[in-house]
Amino acid sequence: MIATPGPVMILVASAGLKGGYVSALKTILGTNLASLLLIAISILIIKGIFDVNEWLFIGIKIIGCFYIAYLGFEILKEVHQTKEQKVQAISPISGGLKKGFLVGISNPKDIIFFSSFFPQFIGVHTNINISLSILVLAWIILDFLTLSFVYLGFNKLAQSQYYSKILTLCGWFLVIIAIYGVYSSVAVLIN
């Protein structure tokens, strides 16, 4: 599930291409902080302490979709401007702790994922708090390692002749994710 392509992966890859591993690392830390917050909310839901208002959830999702679309259009704009200027170097969007956190937190579907996924493995230990701690730690480690490998893979691709095509594909992928997110949110509101 962690290795499924999405906005976080594209942002980490792009940040790494622009600023190297330090920039990718800051972005990964931002996305992990967002994951921790979403996991905490999921745990509160699992324990029955917190309930998520559906309208608020959809509103946050739509705002997150607009932010993801903005990032996609930034990549596309950069590729287009570079082609017009006939310059070889394309500058991907920068990342960082704040941008990583914003992209990570703008994905509230993770609350649903964590709330559905974690209960399947609560029996790891007899104490629910220890089970949840093990799951959270495992998630963060796997997420960190996966995103680090994403950076390394994209770094190799950046040295190829297909670099601008890869960035264009990433930009459109973000825009499509955002459009689908808004569409699915509006469909829920209509029904």
Q: What is the 3-state secondary structure of 94-158?
A: CCCHHHHHHHHHCCCHHHHHHHHHHHHHHHHCCCHHHHHHHHHHHHHHHHHHHHHHHHHHHHHHH
* Mean pLDDT for the chain overall: 78
pLDDT in tens, 105-150: 877 667 666 766 666 666 677 887 888 888 888 888 988 898 888 8
- Quote the percentage of the chain above a pLDDT of 70: 80
Say what the pLDDT of residue 4 is. Answer: 58
Size (the chain), residues = 191
pLDDT tens digit sequence for 69-115? 887 888 788 777 766 665 444 456 677 889 889 888 877 667 666 76
What's the rounded Cα separation, in Å, for the pair 148 and 26?
11
- Alpha-carbon distance of 176 to 25, in angstroms, equals 26
Secondary structure of residue 162 in the 3-state scheme: coil
Q: What type of residue sits at position 140?
A: I
Evaluate whether 58 touches 183 at the Cβ level (below 8 Å).
no
**pLDDT band per the 50, 70, 90 thresholds, residue 30:** very high
Longest dimension (CA), the chain: 62
Sign of the C-alpha dihedral computed for residues 147, 88, 98 and 4 taken in this order: negative
- Residue 177: CB atoms within 10 A of its CB come to 19
User: What confidence category does residue 33 fall into, taking pLDDT thresholds of 50, 70 and 90?
Assistant: very high
**Mean pLDDT confidence for 54-60:** 75
0.75 surpassed by pTM:
no
pLDDT tens digits for range 4-24 = 567 788 788 888 877 788 888
**Angle, CA of 152, 111 and 97, to the nearest 5°:** 40
